[in-house]
Amino acid sequence: MSHDTERIPLPGIPAAPPRSGFPLVASLAPLAMAVVLWVMTSSPYALLFGLLGPVVALASAMDARRTARRARRRDVAEALRRLAELEHRLADRAATRRRVLEAEGPPLGARVAGEEEPGSLRVRLGTGGLPSGIEFVPEGDVEAPELAEAVSRVRSRGSVVDGAPVLLGEVELVALGPSPLVAAFARALVLQAAAGCRPEDAIVVVPEGEPWARLLPHPVETGEAWEVRSDGRRLLRISTRHEEGAARPVVVRLGDAAGSPPRVESGGGSIAFRPALCCRAEARSSAVALADRARRRGWRSDTALPERVPLAPLLAAPAPEGGLSAAFARDADGPVVVDLDADGPHAIIAGTTGSGKSELLVSWVLALAAHHPPGELGFLLVDFKGGAAFAPLAELPHVRGIVSDLDAATATRAVSSLRAELQRRERELARAGARAIAELPPGSLARLVIVVDEFAALVALDPELQGVFSDLAARGRSLGLHLVLGTQRPAGVVRDAVLANITLRICLRVLDAGDSEALMGTRAAAALPAEARGRALLGMGGRARPVQTALSTPRDAAALRERWAGHPVPAERPWLDPLPAELPESALPARGGAGTEAVIGLVDRPAEQRRVPLAVDPWTGGLLVVGAGGAGRTTALAMLARVTDAAVRWVPDDPAELWQALVAEPDGRTLVIADDLDRTLAIADPEQRAELGELLVRTVRDARRTGLGLAASARAVGGALHAVQSAFEHRLLLRLPSREEHLLAGGELGGHRADRRPGGAVWRGSEAQLAVPGGPVPAPWRASLRDARLGVGEWAVVSPHPARLIAAWTARGVDAGPAGAVPRPAVVVGDVDDWLADYAALGAVRREGRMLLLGCTAADHRALTRLRTPLPPLGRADGEAWLVEGGETGRVRVVP
């Protein structure tokens, strides 16, 4: 309603020069001279000469007044002439302004009947006196009484354009007044805005109780306010509520109890106007006229879309032309043919829950399968909505596989393996000397369409899958790989690297207009009716158009299964099957690599579409198997013991036996297997635990040189194993209770699986399955201990209970007695204090005797021998003791 201010000169009369007074000095000066002459000459004629000055001055003043009056009459006449010309120009200007406004906003009848192309026509509120935007700048005196009437007419003519259309552009109105008057006013404005838009480019929203709106060719919704939206822009919104203090751009008051005329208020100004009104009968006839105009012009109409489209007639139609053409939807003109290869090569489908996204995917797959044999086209179906979306397609021979979120690990594995499928197809093209699959003979390399329902849920499992899809999107076209991705909200889920290669886009109803605009460039998808399941916008060829997608039935899938039954299916699959839940020993390949390696299972490499042997080498960095109870730790070590060609020392959770296994001379190449190493260290004496840990680290470090390898298992890497676990370079991670323990054991963040089956493992970042050994667990290894026979030679025995031992051994016929006994017995028994008190006897034993420490501690050993060398742990069996002989201590078995 507002216009830029224009400054126009307002003619007036020039300002009169200041009026001068009577020239008194000039009149009196000649008179003074005449008096002087009369005094000097005494002539009366001298006095007459003095009277000439006043007479001349008076005549000059009278003449100046007469000239000024004549000039003013001339200036007034000129100002009146110019004011008359300005009045005519302003009249012409107002008429031109009215014509321009009429062209910009014709009345409703003219808009409905017009055949011009819809443009940026503005909404006409009615007619009234519009401000002209003219500011008059006075030139001269415009307040003269002679000009008052003419100036008033010019000011009145120039300040307001009478009878002009009151127009508004994209605006929000608040219409206040009696309800019938407001409704009639809103109908007129909504119909004007709808008439200015193609049916496919606008959405009309009206309140309940306006049945004429359904006759419009535009999509119509029911709402609280009156609205017309186009390309995501709100052309018009009319509400009937005005909160005090709320900022509103335009308020229209259509009348009140005082009978004041309608006024429109905007930007602090107010304009009285005559509103445009439309009754329901006139609205109905206008809606019918708009629908007729749309049909005559061939414009697509939302009302022309069917509410339901069966798929069967589309499948029975002749095959459409194109590489991957299929008809699975209809628009106002008939079936819509989409070529996934030419229009894609990839597609994205967005839609909220209940909009028909899964049905669309099923219909598209069936439409593609109807005209392409299994040998030329295959599908990988990824269902992350519970596993039932693609159930009707399970028996279709084109389907290479269906994976779902019921087995998330298999789904992510299948998608990851598609990188290997890319490489395989590249090799096939290189072998044939072709640059793209289109250059190959038909059937030599089948196209593969990867269909994903709920893409967001899939990539949430593993962030690396985003990179897989980016790779597929970038290289898929030439290799015959196509993506059809379904998601509720593509924004923030599908990366730009993927979207950049997707030109085929379908958007069903979405809840957020921003999602529609981000995907389709228009907010129209957010306004699709919820009851029209399958209604969508199809973005193809740079333009979005409304379509109704087809719905399939079980008979459609059954008919296609019968049609293609017996047709050859390519033997190649886009991924290998997952590793079996149980892998027998007989399924393992022969040992590979260096002679110290042993194959104990298979490693899954889905990205390479192959399995490789799980070969371990305990002689290069040791092997630590970590897993919870029942995860398969003992089975893994037992499998290693069966397939290695080295001598095996299987050590149970006994620190003494483990020590002996590590210090005993190797039998050629020897493998020490310590099952439950964490428990073994935990039950050891704290001092011996540290010494045993140092021995374990040294064994792992020197394994290649000594020929003594080490493999161990543990439930976790913390606790007693903390100081030792860093020595093991090779980790085989079985199921662990928590992600934290998995990470502490050396696993990766995404490698933890709480449901990992027994024997399932992570080996160097890849999934693996351990084989089940064909025989039992090896028997525990036992050290060959030296017997200390008390009946042979002399012995010095240290025990915390000497009297008890003397009584027991004497009963067995052993010559035993306490220290200091006379005669001296063959076996002298005493506690630590007894031996320290008899320093001479202790010194003799140190030099050339044999000392048995039975039931003593390491501190007792140091006190008596003064030796600081590590002590071998003693076993759990009764009668084991330390024997100190020749300055060295060993583990022996006491035989009375």
pLDDT in tens, 591-610: 654 567 899 999 998 877 78
Statement to judge: residues 346 and 484 lie in one domain: yes
For the chain, give the longest Cα–Cα distance.
197
What is the reported pTM?
0.59
Q: What is the pLDDT of residue 301?
A: 62
pLDDT at 76 over 80: no
> In terms of residue numbers, what domain contains 849?
786-895
Residue 352 marked ligand-binding: yes
Closest CA to 618 of 734, 721, 697, 708: 708
CA pair distance 756, 630, nearest whole angstrom: 11
Tokens, residue 25: 């000095």
CA pair distance 145, 446, nearest whole angstrom: 98
Read off the pLDDT of residues 813-856 as tens digits, 9 standing for 90 and up. Answer: 999 999 888 888 999 999 999 999 988 899 999 888 899 999 99
- Binned at pLDDT 50, 70 and 90, residue 406 comes out as low
- Residue found by looking up tokens 């929000």 in the block: 172
Q: Point out the least confidently predicted range of 188-197, 342-351, 380-389, 442-451.
A: 380-389
Read off the pLDDT of residues 468-488 as tens digits, 9 standing for 90 and up. Answer: 888 889 888 899 999 999 998
- Binned at pLDDT 50, 70 and 90, residue 49 comes out as low
Statement to judge: residues 704 and 634 lie in one domain: yes
Contact status, residue 375 vs residue 446, Cβ threshold 8 Å: yes
Statement to judge: residues 639 and 730 lie in one domain: yes
Contact status, residue 752 vs residue 736, Cβ threshold 8 Å: yes
CATH number at residue 722: 3.40.50.300
Q: What is the pLDDT of residue 311?
A: 92
pLDDT at 3 over 60: no
Read off the pLDDT of residues 225-279 as tens digits, 9 standing for 90 and up. Answer: 898 887 667 788 888 876 655 556 688 888 765 667 888 887 667 888 889 999 9
- Other CB atoms within 10 A of residue 211 CB: 12
CATH number at residue 859: 3.40.50
Distances (CA, A) of 94 to 87, 101, 133: 11, 10, 11
Q: What is the pLDDT of residue 638?
A: 94
Residue where a domain terminates, one of 564, 580, 604: 564
Residue 385 marked ligand-binding: no
830 within a domain of the structure (yes/no) = yes
Contact status, residue 111 vs residue 121, Cβ threshold 8 Å: yes
Q: What is the DSSP string of 570-581?
A: -S--SSPPPPPS
Cβ neighbours of residue 606 under 8 Å, at least 6 residues apart?
A: 413, 414, 416, 417, 420, 575, 576
Q: What is the pLDDT of residue 22?
A: 56
Q: What is the pLDDT of residue 247?
A: 56
**CA 338 to mean position of chain CA atoms:** 28
Statement to judge: residues 641 and 722 lie in one domain: yes
pLDDT at 150 over 90: no
Statement to judge: residues 382 and 505 lie in one domain: yes
* Total count of residues recorded for the chain: 896
pLDDT at 46 over 60: yes
CA pair distance 568, 443, nearest whole angstrom: 10
**Among residues of the chain, what percentage have pLDDT more than 90?**
34
Read off the pLDDT of residues 153-175 as tens digits, 9 standing for 90 and up. Answer: 777 777 777 888 888 777 788 88
**CA 400 to mean position of chain CA atoms:** 29
Name the 3-class secondary structure at 661: helix
Q: What is the DSSP string of 530-541?
A: TTSTTEEEEEET
Please give the radius of gyration of the chain, using alpha carbons only, rounded to the nearest integer: 53
Residue 303 marked ligand-binding: no
127 within a domain of the structure (yes/no) = no
Statement to judge: residues 701 and 645 lie in one domain: yes
184 within a domain of the structure (yes/no) = no
**Helix (H) or strand (E) segment spanning residue 11:** strand 6-11
Statement to judge: residues 431 and 498 lie in one domain: yes
Question: What residues form DSSP beta bridges with 548?
Answer: 330, 535
pLDDT at 628 over 60: yes
150 within a domain of the structure (yes/no) = no
159 within a domain of the structure (yes/no) = no
pLDDT at 348 over 90: yes
Name the 3-class secondary structure at 40: helix
Read off the pLDDT of residues 355-377 as tens digits, 9 standing for 90 and up. Answer: 999 999 999 999 999 999 998 99
Q: What is the pLDDT of residue 259?
A: 66
What single-letter DSSP state applies at residue 13? Answer: B
Question: What residues form DSSP beta bridges with 828?
Answer: 796, 817
Q: What is the pLDDT of residue 18?
A: 56
Q: What is the DSSP string of 605-645?
A: EGGGTEEEEEEE-TTTT-EEEE--TTSSHHHHHHHHHHH--
Q: What is the pLDDT of residue 23?
A: 63
Contact status, residue 236 vs residue 226, Cβ threshold 8 Å: yes
CA pair distance 391, 796, nearest whole angstrom: 84
Closest CA to 550 of 268, 329, 255: 329
494 within a domain of the structure (yes/no) = yes
CA pair distance 387, 453, nearest whole angstrom: 10
pLDDT at 123 over 80: yes
Statement to judge: residues 765 and 709 lie in one domain: yes
CA pair distance 198, 228, nearest whole angstrom: 12
Tell me the mean pLDDT in the region 209-236. 82
- For the ranges 194-198, 564-568, 677-681, the maximum mean pLDDT occurs at 677-681
Tell me the mean pLDDT in the region 178-201. 88
Cα angle value 415/418/421 (rounded, 5°): 160
Q: What is the pLDDT of residue 202?
A: 83
Closest CA to 815 of 798, 801, 802, 828: 828
Tell me the mean pLDDT in the region 324-351. 89
What single-letter DSSP state applies at residue 892? Answer: E
Q: Point out the least confidently predicted range of 102-116, 212-226, 353-367.
A: 102-116
Q: What is the pLDDT of residue 117?
A: 64
Handedness of CA 254, 257, 260, 264 (dihedral sign): negative
432 burial (CB, 10 Å; 0-12 / 13-18 / 19+) is: middle
- Other CB atoms within 10 A of residue 563 CB: 14
Residue 351 marked ligand-binding: yes
Q: Where are the alpha helices (DSSP H) in 105-125?
A: 108-113
Closest CA to 147 of 18, 14, 19: 14
410 burial (CB, 10 Å; 0-12 / 13-18 / 19+) is: middle
- Binned at pLDDT 50, 70 and 90, residue 108 comes out as confident
- For the ranges 330-334, 623-627, 775-779, the maximum mean pLDDT occurs at 623-627
Q: What is the pLDDT of residue 524?
A: 79
20 burial (CB, 10 Å; 0-12 / 13-18 / 19+) is: exposed
Statement to judge: residues 345 and 448 lie in one domain: yes
Name the 3-class secondary structure at 434: coil
Mean residue pLDDT across the chain: 84
Tell me the mean pLDDT in the region 91-111. 78
- Binned at pLDDT 50, 70 and 90, residue 16 comes out as low
Q: What is the pLDDT of residue 626?
A: 96
Statement to judge: residues 794 and 765 lie in one domain: no
Statement to judge: residues 512 and 540 lie in one domain: yes
CA pair distance 295, 305, nearest whole angstrom: 13
Question: What residues form DSSP beta bridges with 331?
Answer: 334
pLDDT at 27 over 70: no
Tell me the mean pLDDT in the region 681-696. 90
What single-letter DSSP state applies at residue 386? Answer: S
Contact status, residue 494 vs residue 531, Cβ threshold 8 Å: no
Q: What is the pLDDT of residue 731?
A: 94
758 within a domain of the structure (yes/no) = yes
Q: What is the pLDDT of residue 647?
A: 93
Q: What is the pLDDT of residue 251?
A: 86
Statement to judge: residues 790 and 768 lie in one domain: no
Cβ neighbours of residue 494 under 8 Å, at least 6 residues apart?
A: 348, 455, 485, 487, 502
Q: What is the pLDDT of residue 768?
A: 94
CA pair distance 619, 611, nearest whole angstrom: 24
How many DSSP H helices and E strands does the chain contain?
26, 40
Strands 888-895 and 880-885: antiparallel
What single-letter DSSP state applies at residue 666? Answer: P
Residue 355 marked ligand-binding: yes
Tell me the mean pLDDT in the region 430-452. 89
Read off the pLDDT of residues 530-570 as tens digits, 9 standing for 90 and up. Answer: 888 899 999 887 778 888 999 999 999 999 999 998 888 88
- For the ranges 10-14, 198-202, 278-282, the maximum mean pLDDT occurs at 278-282
14 within a domain of the structure (yes/no) = no
Residue 354 marked ligand-binding: yes
- Binned at pLDDT 50, 70 and 90, residue 458 comes out as confident
**CA 138 to mean position of chain CA atoms:** 65
Residue where a domain terminates, one of 719, 749, 772: 772
How many domains are there within the chain? Answer: 3
Residue where a domain terminates, one of 746, 772, 798: 772
